[in-house]
Structure 1
Amino acid sequence: MSADNTTPETAPDPDDPRVERHTAGAFDIRNFIGALLGLYGIILTLMGIFGDKAYEKTGGVNANLWTGLILLLMSAIFMTWARLRPIIVPAHVEPPDDDATRPAPKRRPSGH
Structure 2
Amino acid sequence: MSELQREVSELEGRSATAARLFDIRRIIGGLFTLYGVIVTLAGVTADDADLDKAVGVNINLWTGLGMLALGLFFLGWLWLRPTAPPPPGAEDETAEDAAGPGTPRD
Detail structure 1 runs of 4+ shifted over 2 Å in the superposition: 22-26
Matched, 1:31 2:26: yes
Matched, 1:65 2:61: yes
Query: In structure 2, what is the Cα distance between the partners aligned to 1:26 and 1:70?
Result: 25
Bigger Rg, structure 1 or 2 = 1
Map 1:3-42 to 2 at 5 A.
22=16, 24-42=19-37
1:29-66 deviation per Cα after TM superposition (whole angstroms, max 9, x unaligned): 00100001011101101111124451122121111011
| More helix, by proportion | 2
**How big is the shift at 1:26?**
2.5
Query: In structure 2, what is the Cα distance between the partners aligned to 1:75 and 1:44?
Result: 13
- Secondary structure of the residue that 1:90 maps to in structure 2? coil
Q: Aligned residues, how many?
A: 81
The range that moved more, 71-80 or 87-96, is 87-96
**How big is the shift at 1:86?**
1.8
Structure 2: stretches of 5+ with no match in the other structure: 1-15, 100-105
Letter paired with 1:57: K
Query: In structure 2, what is the Cα distance between the partners aligned to 1:52 and 1:32?
Result: 32
What TM-score comes out, normalization by structure 1 length?
0.60
Identity %, equivalent residues: 43
Structure 1: stretches of 5+ with no match in the other structure: 1-21, 100-109
Letter paired with 1:28: D
